[in-house]
Structure 1
Amino acid sequence: MRMTTNANRRVTDEQIERARSIDLVQFLQQYEPPGELKRIGQSWTLKSHDSMRISADGRWNWFSQNKGGGDAIGFLQAVHGMSFQDAVRTLAGEDFKTIPTTQAEHKAKPPERAAFALPPKNNGNRRVFAYLHRSRGIAAEIINHCIKNDLLYEDAQHHNAVFVGKDENHNARYAFLRGTLTASHFRQEATGSDKSYGFFLRGSGKTLFVCEAAIDALSIATLRKFDGLDWKKDNYLALGGVTASESKLPAALERTLNTFSFKRVVLCFDNDAAGQTAARRIFTMLRQQFSENLEVQTCVPKVKDFNDQLCVKLQNGKNSPSRGTRESTLSR
């Protein structure tokens, strides 16, 4: 894909609006080299960046770089290094020809969802427990709780941590795999996963903490435990990444809010551009859609994410309520 170099040329509101309306999958099918864009179940990935996941509605997550978004502008900025102006002009058709509508619609037809199946379980969970407890600082009580309730296990073939999302009847509908070697960047959803069922740790109370990843959710539960709070009273939802859609809530969040009753939602996304953009937009949508009966808050980690914040706290010896420093929103 050819990158332009006119970063200082201004773009109009009309160009920006036109660029934001471009379907990312259609655009990549037309302009990326043959074979670069590949289907994986319901999503697409890139041959040159196999940790990339692009959904049929244009949302994308580049897991190895901890980046994500909901439109093609951000994608071109992140992946191809374009400036905002160059990305807008590229998508608006000034630097590339317009995608033929009928051809693009035919190419971008979403594939049928592949059959979902959980990876085979290992006989034990030793490596998963060691990774989450020793490398990530998650409290042993919380890890064991997840294992006991079939929300977490170690897969037999590669010894990945498998975080399971279930439906209302406790049937597995979603799984996210995370490598357990300390230096591993492997992260992948199981084939056929339904993203409207995220990793959800159900509590007895009315507060829902919403995170990008399952490890973030378990980190927040651990931080609350260290602050002397009853972590089992709260609810924790991991979305499996975030997008920056301005008009549609993440599917897992929407389903969870429509299934269970909450009084407070706390958005706990990463302290980076993608995470905070998504937090602002989801915050606005929640306030608009649930303004009368739902308190909505955001909580930004002091470092990159809440697992990093937990690890820093542990490294500083603040691993008990008497020695810890309470995070204002997490401690309520």
Structure 2
Amino acid sequence: MGKLFTDEQIAQANQINILEYARQAGYSVEKITPKEYKIPGFGGLRIDGAGRKWNCFSANAGGGPIQFVMYTEKKSWVEAVKQLLSLSQNQNNFLYRTSRDIEKETEEKGEFVLPEKNSTYKHVFAYLINTRKIDKDIVISMVKQKKIYENTHRSCVFVGYDQEGISRYASVRSTNTTGSSYRGDVANSDKAFAFSIKGLSNTIRVFESPIDALSYTAFLKQFGSENKDHMLALGCLGDVSLEHYLKGHPEINRIIFCLDNDQWGHQALDRWVEKYKPNYAVAHHFPKGKDWNEDLVSFFKEMEQRREAEATLDLESEEEAII
């Protein structure tokens, strides 16, 4: 019987940064020193500052990324490798940050500067409206509020603001529809001020990405429902922005988690239900596919196929009538 994984695949799985994996998975990662982090609730689990090794003395366990997934998620070695490889195939490049990148992050942050604006919005409009199928009026509204714009690399920039209307956070998503695709936060962004849409109700809906939040809003409009809820895009699976948003909006007493329908989303939901349920009414709404934009694109594709089928039937009926 041949090997399940090549040496290159195993090496690839072992290159994933444990700190970034833990944050993406929704674990509460706490800094002890620049060279050591911990995850509470796992019996003294420690991760080195470079994100390459971990150990838990109480359980006499430790190792690299594969062993980390095995230990924290009770997976077999094969399951752990498969999961790590699936992440690499999804182009989560931030999971491969070097120790130098981590060291830079632990240093004092520099000034946050938004990427330079392009002279046009056409690439962003084409990407969000034509490719992602987000309602045109919703996109234009976000542009007018300066929450979305196009940078000089023709990428889409999603901006988050503080209470004074000062930009404090931005994430970039390339508008490429073929080839490699980039996504990531702008340097020195403050996750506490992630992309959001202020609502009028006592409910907040929580998403992983701005595109999913906008896709959900587009669904509501498609079915004749005006969105009145607060919408927050975490930008990952950490909840620092949710904690901050709730402090600034004491009127909110209900949280609906609209996370991705994958292992990451389900694991984060389990943790956050336990965390927020004592003080909030908590519910969840998972998409049918992987995420809300995938559902939105599928919805319009099915609508188009239905229209084409109906047009074909109408044509056949007219031909029969002539004959």
Q: What's the TM-score, normalizing by structure 1?
A: 0.64
Structure 2 CA distance, aligned partners of 1:222 and 1:298?
Answer: 18
What is the aligned partner in structure 1 of residue 237 from structure 2? 242
Tell me if 1:173 matches 2:168.
yes
Tell me if 1:152 matches 2:148.
yes
Unaligned runs of 5+ in 2: 1-9, 15-38, 55-61, 79-102, 306-323
What is the aligned partner in structure 2 of residue 111 from structure 1? 107
Give the count of matched residue pairs.
237
Please identify the structure whose Cα radius of gyration is greater. Answer: 2
CA contact (8 A) 1:166 1:172 kept: yes
Tell me if 1:302 matches 2:302.
no
What is the aligned partner in structure 2 of residue 163 from structure 1? 158
SS at match of 2:277: helix
What is the aligned partner in structure 1 of residue 212 from structure 2? 216
Tell me if 1:84 matches 2:66.
no
Identify which range, 163-172 or 260-269, moves more after superposition: 260-269
What is the aligned partner in structure 2 of residue 12 from structure 1? none
Tell me if 1:311 matches 2:313.
no
Equivalent in 136, 139, 160 of residue 140 of structure 1? 136
Task: Give 1:214 deviation, angstroms.
Answer: 0.5
Q: What's the TM-score, normalizing by structure 2?
A: 0.65
What is the aligned partner in structure 1 of residue 30 from structure 2? none
What is the aligned partner in structure 2 of residue 229 from structure 1? 225
Structure 1 CA distance, aligned partners of 2:210 and 2:158?
Answer: 7
Task: Give 1:155 deviation, angstroms.
Answer: 0.4
Structure 1 CA distance, aligned partners of 2:282 and 2:68?
Answer: 30
Considering fraction of residues, name the structure with more helix: 2
Task: Give 1:17 deviation, angstroms.
Answer: 9.1
Task: Give 1:79 deviation, angstroms.
Answer: 8.6
CA RMSD of aligned residues (A): 3.4
Cα 1:143–1:78 change in 2 (3 A) is: farther
Instruction: Name the % identity.
Output: 31
Task: Give 1:317 deviation, angstroms.
Answer: 1.0
Structure 1 CA distance, aligned partners of 2:63 and 2:248?
Answer: 34
CA contact (8 A) 1:73 1:84 kept: no
CA contact (8 A) 1:212 1:242 kept: yes
What is the aligned partner in structure 1 of residue 274 from structure 2? 284
Unaligned runs of 5+ in 1: 5-15, 32-71, 88-106, 244-249, 320-332
What is the aligned partner in structure 1 of residue 51 from structure 2? 28
One-letter identity of the residue aligned with 2:276? L
Cα 1:77–1:279 change in 2 (3 A) is: farther
Provide Cα deviations, 1:240-294, integer angstroms capped at 9, x if missing partner.
Answer: 0104xxxxxx110000011012132110111111111001211221102x1xxx3
Provide Cα deviations, 1:85-112, integer angstroms capped at 9, x if missing partner.
Answer: 669xxxxxxxxxxxxxxxxxxx899211
Provide Cα deviations, 1:113-165, integer angstroms capped at 9, x if missing partner.
Answer: 12210001112211101100111010001101100001000002x11100001
